[in-house]
A = this chain, B = another copy of it.
Amino acid sequence: MNRREKSLKINESYHKAINILEKTGIRITSQRKILTKLIFQKGNRHLSAEELFHEVKDMKVNISLATIYNTLRNLSNYGLLREIVVDQNKSIYCTNHMPHYHLYIEDEEKIIDIPNQKIDLSNIPEIPACLSLHDIDIIVRIRTLKDKKIN
């Protein structure tokens, strides 16, 4: 994919997102436009509210943290982002809307996407029948034990 194709594709993600937002009926405010552009202009990524806030500041634009949180929540609720609660008081949002799961390395606070064919969940029991109404997230957490584990 060359630069022009890449840029077209990014534009596409952004417009697609705005399109979806328009269909929901919420207002397409300038803040929501700017944030949506920032979030989707870099291809697949994982970002926190704080990171987005800094990116906004770097652009010399002023958008409050509250608005950033609200927008992230909206985008998640409308299925454009996936919220990953990685820790106490810490969510990360993922723009990859292809089916996939997350590998979270706690010590490095790093997230890696896992294409979903790599995990076979066919045998999981007891998922409610109304599955189509639901989202399923899988997080594989890897961490170093803080103290010595004794068995």
- List residues of chain A with CB under 8 Å of any chain B CB: 20, 23-24, 74, 77-79, 85-89, 91, 103, 105, 112, 114, 118-121, 123-128, 133-151
Contact = CB atoms under 8 A, between A and B. Distances in A.
Contacts of A149: 78-79
Given A23-B150, A77-B145, A77-B146, A125 B119 contact: no
A121 B140 contact: yes
Top 6 A-B pairs ranked by shortest CB distance?
A: A79-B149, A120-B120, A137-B141, A77-B147, A118-B123, A77-B146
Given A85-B85, A118-B125, A138-B140, 15 more contacts: A74-B147, A77-B146, A77-B147, A79-B145, A85-B86, A88-B89, A103-B124, A114-B124, A119-B119, A135-B141, A136-B141, A137-B140, A137-B141, A139-B139, A139-B141
A91 B141 CA distance: 14
Contacts of A23: 150
Nearest to A74: B147
**Chain A residues touching B, majority SS:** mixed
Contacts of A151: 20, 79
B128 A142 contact: yes
A134 B142 CA distance: 6
A21 B6 CA distance: 56
A43 to B, nearest CB: 19
9 contacts: A79-B145, A79-B151, A103-B124, A118-B123, A119-B124, A133-B144, A134-B143, A134-B145, A138-B140
